Structure 1
């Protein structure tokens, strides 16, 4: 399965993304990490879109996600919700073509967080938003924090569930 791991933060969430990437590769999956910090997308507003059009890096990211079979989203809890960098990327992707869901619709998704708080709010918000844009989100999720490291067996199981949801 071709899996894109979309990470919406650096530091601990980027470390978690790399751990999940390693596990997925060990399980025989083809992966790539998309670091939204490094993508450095401009802030989406209708005014910026009207003035400048769709940035080339958004078009490139859109094509990458269209060609991926499953996604893992790794994001910290940001004031009880999704980090702005992730919602900004989704906003740009939703206007990058004729079908606003084309990057996401019917694809399996897995969600994960390393959060200084509980992490439940970001996971709930990601599950809701990703489901709304047409993704099939795995029931289990990954939560790590400073007191709770990644459980490798759980990570393998959740990735296995993601792979099993692959659309033929």
Structure 2
């Protein structure tokens, strides 16, 4: 399966994404990390869209995600919600083409976080938003924080669910 791992912050979430990527690759999947912080997309606003048009980085991101068969979103909890980098990227993608839903609609997604707090709120927020835009979010999640270390076996099970979703819907 061709999996894009989309991260919405660096540091511990980037480290978590790299651990997930290694497990996914060891399981025979083609994976890539898309670092939304490194992409440095402008904040989405209608005024920015009018002024900038659709930035070439957004068009490239649309193409990359459209050709992904599944996604894993890795984001920390920001005040009980989704980080601005992820929300803004989704907003840009939603105006990036006539068929922007091709990025997301019907594709399996998994969600993960390393958060300074509990992390449950960002997982719930991501599940709601990704489901709303048409993704099929698998039941299991990857959650790490100061009191809960990374569990490779659990991550492997999440990836199995992600991959099995594709095989059941083809």
TM-score tier after normalising by the smaller chain length: over 0.9
Cα drift, residue 102 of structure 1 = 2.1
Cα drift, residue 99 of structure 1 = 2.9
Cα drift, residue 112 of structure 1 = 0.3
Note the 1:135-150 alignment, pairs <5 A. 135-150=135-150
Q: What is aligned with 1:59?
A: 59
Equivalent residue pairs, number: 168
Aligned partners of 2:114 and 2:52: how far apart in 1?
A: 35
Q: What is aligned with 1:80?
A: 80
Cα drift, residue 51 of structure 1 = 1.7
Aligned partners of 1:69 and 1:46: how far apart in 2?
A: 29
Moved >3 Å (runs of 4+): none
Does residue 48 of the first structure (1) align with residue 44 of the second (2)?
Answer: no
Note the 1:103-142 alignment, pairs <5 A. 103-142=103-142
Q: What is aligned with 2:30?
A: 30
Q: What secondary structure, in the 3-state scheme, does the structure 2 residue paired with 1:5 have?
A: strand
Cα shift readout 1:19-43 (whole Å, capped 9, x = no counterpart): 0000000000000000001000001
Question: Unmatched 5+ residue regions in structure 2?
Answer: none
Aligned partners of 1:45 and 1:102: how far apart in 2?
A: 22
Cα drift, residue 47 of structure 1 = 1.1
Question: Given that residues 62 and 100 in structure 2 are in contact (C-alpha distance below 8 angstroms), is that contact kept between their aligned partners in structure 1?
Answer: no
CA RMSD of the aligned region, Å?
0.7
Q: What secondary structure, in the 3-state scheme, does the structure 2 residue paired with 1:82 have?
A: coil
Question: Unmatched 5+ residue regions in structure 1?
Answer: none
Cα drift, residue 16 of structure 1 = 0.3
Query: Structure 2 length normalisation: TM-score?
Result: 0.97
Aligned partners of 1:57 and 1:100: how far apart in 2?
A: 15
Query: Structure 1 length normalisation: TM-score?
Result: 0.98
Question: Given that residues 70 and 107 in structure 2 are in contact (C-alpha distance below 8 angstroms), is that contact kept between their aligned partners in structure 1?
Answer: yes
Aligned partners of 2:138 and 2:41: how far apart in 1?
A: 27
